[in-house]
Amino acid sequence: MRSLISSLVILAALAFATAAHAGRPITIKGSDTMVILGQRWAEKYMNEMSGQVVMVTGGGSGTGIAALINGTTDICQASRPMKPDEKLKLRDRYQTMGQEIAVARDGLAVYFNESNPMQKLSIEQLKAIYMGQVTNWKQVGGKDATIVLYGRENSSGTYVFFKDNVLGGRDFSPRVQTLPGTAAVVNAVSKDPNGIGYGGAAYAKGVKDCAIQKDAKSTAILPTAATVKDGSYPLWRHLYFYLRKKPEGDTKKFVDWVLSPAGQQLATQVGYFPL
Amino acid sequence: MSVFRPGIDPAAHRRLQRIREGVIEWLLRGCAFAAVAGLVLIILFVFREALPILVNAETQKEASLAGFFATPLWQPVGDVPKYGLVPLLLGTFKVVLVAMLFATPLAVLAAVFSSEFASPRLREALKPVIEILAGIPSVVMGFFALIVLASWLQSVTGGTMRLNALNAGIALGLGVIPTIFTVAEDALRAVPKSYREASLALGASRWQTAWNVSLPAASAGVGAGVLLGLARAVGETMIVLMASGNAAITSVTVFDSVRTLSASIAAELAEVVMGSPHYSVLFFLGALLFTITFIINVAAGIFVDRLRRRLAGA
């Protein structure tokens, strides 16, 4: 009996010591686009700062923002800015407007199948294709074949970005096949010689990037580190961290590290672009 | 367990035992009611969340019963959201039709073979193997259809869209086969041996016996199996979400991509604003799915009942 009690005491002391050493884990939730990025940041950070635990999960930008409002995550990763009604909810609960921190840039790439001779499209052509007004590659200077459209689900931040910045807020054609996740879109386009898809530039493996013209007269530009960084590639966006209030303590240390050259360098390695 | 203790008179002992059994009975009854109560609460919840479509004027401005059929478009996210149910209902119908046309003959004939023709050893091997199909997670089945089946089908049919109703339907059929097979096989095995012996004694061949005697005798059970398979096909989510392409197209060909009721809920529910019209519409789809599968299940129950009565009364 005595040995049982003493071992319990030791166990409790150990648990207390670990807890005191580790601090509270930082939880991160949100955008599926940013999951890989967040995980790399967390791994590296945990290696460098032994003892701090950072937990990263996906679910989508909207899911992350909802979790932030419900208080179930410390940091929300989002690939789109918060909507006014979301900000309103945050204010009602916590009397803050929330803290928006841009942490990286993402180039939104348009993918072709590798066998497709197409090289470039203007935003206007892209809009016509995704609204279903142009249905054959021939109409935009390609071969005579029906265009097969791939896109993301309407719950994704990427869907909203494409709708706002390419379609000017108009509706997608009902023929767009919506797939769960950018990886699925890339996979579908890589298997479909007549396919076209869109998603983060970090994912473009096994498919060809389309060079984008801002309008019919401007030069076509491929998404590269340089063109996204200087803003000459037209389809880019900020990726955000959202917090309920100004970061402090362990969270501040982590956010500062993400914004430091070491953190930004890691973003480049994953396929995103520094600020 | 009752232990006789000396010093306690038998009457008191019996009373104690009665109390104990009463308590146990009440506990068991409580467990049964808890399970039913949970189910009823879930159903109530789904219907309550869908209710604004019928009663809330604010919601009805965006989404109403009439509006569901006023537009052929399903575009719930946008400045003017469009909630047309026609492409979703049509899509669900197409996928389920393909799945049932594919699965029913295969599963029923497999059941006939297993119960009427296979040697006992072969049957013992065959039955578990087919039933293992039911144990394959539907996400694995969906992934298989997305990567392998879709490419093969496209190379055979030459369709423009790789992911379509045919692809999703066949994958869904694979998921439904074990359900139909298991119930149909059990029904066929339950046909009394005397039926077959009488048929064979009259000079019928084994095939004639299977086709004209066993199958008709078990027809209600086979029908119940098909209906249970149908209910599963209507509600199945993961396979169609991955394999169908999820484009809400209003057309009749199975070579177009389709979006089903269940896949729409799965894809969209995670990020809708709670209480918004879109949220209510998704719950309405859920209530609709529930009603459809409920009706099918009740019909299957009636079939099974009829089979039991026929075999017992004959």
Look up the CATH number of the domain holding residue A93.
Answer: 3.40.190.10
Average pLDDT of chain B, as a whole number = 89
In a shared domain, residues A163 and A216: yes
Contact A31, A78 (CB under 8 A): yes
Select the residue of A59, A174, A191 nearest B248 (Cβ to Cβ): A174
Asked if residue A126 is part of any domain, the answer here is yes
Q: What is the pLDDT of residue B46?
A: 93
Does A52 lie in the same domain as A140? no
**B 255-274: CB under 8 A from A:** 257, 259, 267-268, 270-273
CB contacts of B267 in chain A (<8 Å) are 153-155, 178, 180
E runs forming strands in chain B = 74-75, 82-83
- At B8 the pLDDT is 65
Q: With 0-12 CB in 10 A as exposed, 13-18 as middle and 19+ as buried, what is B280? A: buried
pLDDT > 70 fraction of chain B, expressed in percent and rounded = 96
- Closest Cα of chain A to B241: distance in Å? 8
Between chain A and chain B, how many beta carbons pairs sit less than 8 Å apart? Answer: 81
The minimum CA-CA distance between A122 and chain B, rounded to whole Å, is 23
A3 domain-assigned? no
Answer whether residue A160 is part of any domain.
yes
State the smallest CA–CA distance between residue A221 and chain B in angstroms: 29
Rounded CA-CA distance A172/B73 in Å is 10
If asked whether residues A166 and A249 sit together in one domain, one would say: no
A112 and A173, same domain (yes or no) = yes
Has residue A7 been placed in a domain?
no
Tell me the pLDDT tens digit for each residue of B204-252.
999 999 999 999 989 888 999 999 999 999 999 999 999 998 999 998 8
Cβ-count burial of A64 within 10 angstroms (0-12 exposed, 13-18 middle, 19+ buried)?
buried
Q: Which of A47, A33, A94 is nearest to A240 (CA)?
A: A33
Q: Helix, strand, coil % (nearest 5) of chain B? A: 75, 0, 20
Interface check B73 vs A, CB under 8 A: yes
- Do the Cβ atoms of A63 and A30 come closer than 8 Å? yes
Task: Mutation target for B interface from A33, A63, A68, A153: give the one with most B CBs within 10 A.
Answer: A153
Would you call B249 an interface residue with chain A, using a CB distance cutoff of 8 Å? Answer: yes
Q: Is the pLDDT of residue B87 over 90?
A: yes
Q: How much is the pLDDT for B45?
A: 94
Identify which has the larger pLDDT, A225 or A132.
A132
Q: Residue B163's closest chain A neighbor by CA?
A: A177
Same domain membership, residue A51 and residue A124: no
Domain co-membership, A100 together with A112: no
**Contact B151/A at CB under 8 A:** yes
Q: Total domain count for chain A?
A: 2
Q: Name the region of A177 (left: φ>0; alpha: ψ -120 to 50; beta: rest).
A: beta
pLDDT of residue A260: 92
Same domain? A232 vs A245: no
Determine whether the interchain pair A62/B271 forms a contact, defined as Cβ–Cβ distance below 8 Å: yes
A18 within some domain: no
Q: Is A17 within the bounds of a domain?
A: no
Note whether A240 and A101 are within 8 A (CB). yes
pLDDT value of position B105 = 96
In the structure, what pLDDT confidence band is assigned to residue A6 with cuts at 50, 70 and 90? low
Supply the range of the domain harboring residue A47.
24-105+238-270
Assess if residue A44 is contained within a domain: yes
Same domain, A92 and A129: no
pLDDT for the residue numbered A156:
78
pLDDT recorded at residue A98: 85
ipTM over 0.90: no
Beta bridge partner(s), residue A106:
A237
A74 and A111 inside one domain = no
Q: Which of chain A's residues have a Cβ under 8 Å away from the Cβ of B78?
A: 163, 169, 171
Give mean pLDDT, residues A54-67. 85
**How confident is the model over B48-55, as a mean pLDDT?**
90
- Say yes or no: A51 and A74 in one domain: yes
- Rounded to whole angstroms, the Cα distance separating B307 from A271 reads 63
Identify whether residues A99 and A127 lie together within a single domain: no
A61 with A111, same domain: the answer is no
Is A16 a domain residue? Answer: no
